[in-house]
Amino acid sequence: MNISQNNRVLSGMRPTGLLHLGHYHGVLKNWIELQHSYECFYFVADWHALTTHYENPSIIAESSRDMVIDWLAAGVNPGNSTIFVQSRIPEHAELHTLLSMITPLGWLLRVPSYKDQQEKIKDRDLATYGFLGYPLLQSADILIYKAGFVPVGEDQVAHVELTREVARRFNHFYGKEADFEQKVEAAIKKMGKKNARLYNDVRKRFQEQGESEALSIGKAMLESQQNISLNDRDRLLGHLEGGGRIILPEPQSLLSVSPKMPGLDGQKMSKTYNNTVTLRDPPEVIEKKIRTMPTDPARVRRTDPGDPEKCPVWDLHQVYTSETTRAQLAEGCKTASIGCLDCKQHIIDAIIDELKPIQQRMQDYLNDLSGVDSIINEGCEAARDVAQDTIEEVRKVMGLPG
Ligand code: TRP
Ligand code: SF4
């Protein structure tokens, strides 16, 4: 594992319609933040969208470019992130096929989303080979870039966990070289006497005593070695943990901490519930959507007092309104000194303000579609270079012609 791949973030989004505030608050803001500290790869997961939308794929083609435009408008920066489209990097599919050879069927049947989604989505037949393979395709997406970190929501953590297991199994099968032990010994020598002693000591402590602290010390030490090659470092990292060379590093999930974005009806914001404000809604649509939101059902007339805890508008205030203003609004609601429209106006203004700069940038990109296409083309080329290096290595260790 070299430093840069360890510092790589990868994430994808399925192009199945317009992005809404749930995507913005739950995912995009996080992606944008990560750009400051990581080398980021963000992609349009169009094959993943096909696993559920295979009967009516037109929405996928329609929303792919628009989704990228919305990412850019929200602040994903093509100057320091690689933005690309999954289906244009065939190496993802090749790695998916190769990983499928070593993936026990039980591992896929056990992933919770497989059964959950089938039960939830009744209007489509998801008992397909492609849908069962959904998390393994995701593993291929991650491993083809040797990403160290995957920002995901809670529902995706099991997919990253599967990825770790598949990578471990892959390294176990294919990380063994005939002359592994000799190469390890030569690499240890290159580190100098003092480091060699430290390495052997922490390895022993980890393997015999299971001391995870010793493992961390060993890893940190290997990461800082200047006088061994990257391949040697991967060998030693594998050897330290008691396996062969690490070809596909295990990624970690970065769980997004933002709470669920409430929708217009008190449920989580989601296209399925038809309760969204999209990033493209103009101010008058935003105004209408918020004005028609249900409130505390006990507040029938303006003079009836209400209870904010029973009102979906209140959930939005948690996202958009300061604590001081919230205290005033709660008081006004309970004493019927303010009307619901007064209360809602704060939300309307906050959303319009939030989306205004985003929509301005969106318009610039919409006026320059060929510029957007260039960004995507360049991202695809850069991603493909990385993916090709990995797939060549994978073909080699699996005994396939280069
Ligand atoms: N399954 C993810 C979702 O629905 C999208 C996705 C596909 C993804 N491949 C990925 C996310 C790889 C992270 C890494 O949100
Ligand atoms: Fe909901 Fe605000 Fe109306 Fe109270 S005043 S019921 S919190 S919209």
Residue % of the chain over a pLDDT of 70: 99
Look at residue 3 and tell me whether its pLDDT is greater than 60.
Answer: no
Mean pLDDT of 57-61: 95
**Residue 184 domain flag:** yes
Contact 150, 160 (CB under 8 A): yes
Alpha-carbon distance of 44 to 28, in angstroms, equals 13
Asked whether residue 265 is assigned to any structural domain, the reply reads: no
- Residue 313 sits in a domain whose CATH number is 1.10.240.10
Q: Are residue 219 and residue 342 in the same domain, yes or no?
A: no
Mean pLDDT of 241-247: 86
As a whole number of angstroms, the distance between CA 49 and CA 58 comes to 11
Phi, psi of 379 (to 5 degrees): -60, -45
Residue 48 lies in a domain: yes
How confident is the model over 131-178, as pLDDT tens digits? 999 999 999 999 999 999 999 988 899 999 999 999 999 999 999 887
Residue 260 within a domain? no
Residue 339 CA: nearest ligand 2 atom is 5
Check: CB of residue 145 under 8 Å from CB of residue 386.
Answer: yes
Q: Is residue 267 part of a domain?
A: no
Identify the CATH number of the domain in which residue 385 sits: 3.40.50.620
What is the pLDDT confidence band of residue 299, given thresholds at 50, 70 and 90? very high
Q: Judge if 168 and 195 occupy the same domain.
A: no
Is the domain of 122 the same as that of 207? no
347 ligand 2 Cβ < 6 A: no
Residue 383 lies in a domain: yes
Q: How many domains does the chain have?
A: 3
E strand or H helix that includes residue 201: helix 193-209
350 and 391 in a single domain? The answer is: no
**Ligand 1 centroid to 45 CA: how many Å?**
7
Q: Place 2 in a pLDDT band, splitting at 50, 70 and 90.
A: very low
DSSP element (H, E) containing 12: strand 8-13
Instruction: Report the separation in Å between the CA atom of 304 and the middle of ligand 2, taken as the mean of its atom positions.
Output: 11
316 plus 213 within the same structural domain: no
- Separation CA 87–CA 151 (nearest Å): 21
Phi-psi sector, 118: left (phi>0), alpha (psi -120 to 50), beta = alpha
> Does residue 272 belong to any structural domain of this protein?
no
34 and 67 share one domain: yes
Range of the domain at 154: 5-175+370-397
Same domain, yes or no, for 286 and 388?
no
Q: What is the pLDDT of residues 23-46, one digit of tens each?
A: 999 999 999 999 999 999 999 999
Mutating to test ligand 2, I would choose from 264, 265, 313 the residue with most ligand atoms within 8 A of its C-beta, which is 313
Q: Are 185 and 46 in contact (CB under 8 A)?
A: no
Question: Has residue 325 been placed in a domain?
Answer: yes
| Pair (16, 156) in one structural domain | yes
Residues 100 and 122 in one domain: yes
Whether 49 has a pLDDT exceeding 80, the answer reads yes
Q: Which helix (H) or strand (E) holds 308?
A: none
Query: Is the pTM for the entire model greater than 0.85?
Result: yes
Pocket test for ligand 2, best of 289, 293, 295 (most atoms within 8 A of CB): 295
Both 67 and 125 in a single domain?
yes
Per-residue model confidence as pLDDT tens digits over 318-362: 999 999 999 999 999 999 999 999 999 999 999 999 999 999 999
49 lies in the same domain as 102: yes
Residues 6 or more apart whose Cβ sits within 8 Å of residue 175: 238, 243, 244, 245, 246, 247, 397
What is the distance between the alpha carbons of residues 1 and 219, in angstroms, rounded to a whole number? 10
241, 263, 293 - which closes a domain: 241
Cα gap 67→13, rounded to integer Å: 9
Distance CA 150, CA 41 (A): 10
In this structure, the residue with its CA closest to atom 3 of ligand 2 is 340
Q: Do 190 and 325 reside in the same domain of the chain? A: no
Give residue 5's pLDDT: 55
Give distance in angstroms: CA of 339 to centre of ligand 2.
Answer: 7
Tell me which residues have their CB closer than 6 angstroms to ligand 1.
10-12, 14, 45, 48, 138, 141-142, 150, 152, 156
Residue 1 pLDDT > 70: no
* Pocket perturbation via mutation, ligand 2, pick of 303, 321, 333, 344 by most ligand atoms within 8 A of CB: 333
Nearest CA to ligand 2 atom 7: 308
Q: Whose CA is nearest to atom 9 of ligand 1?
A: 138
Torsion angle in degrees (nearest 10) through CA of 196, 199, 204, 207: -140
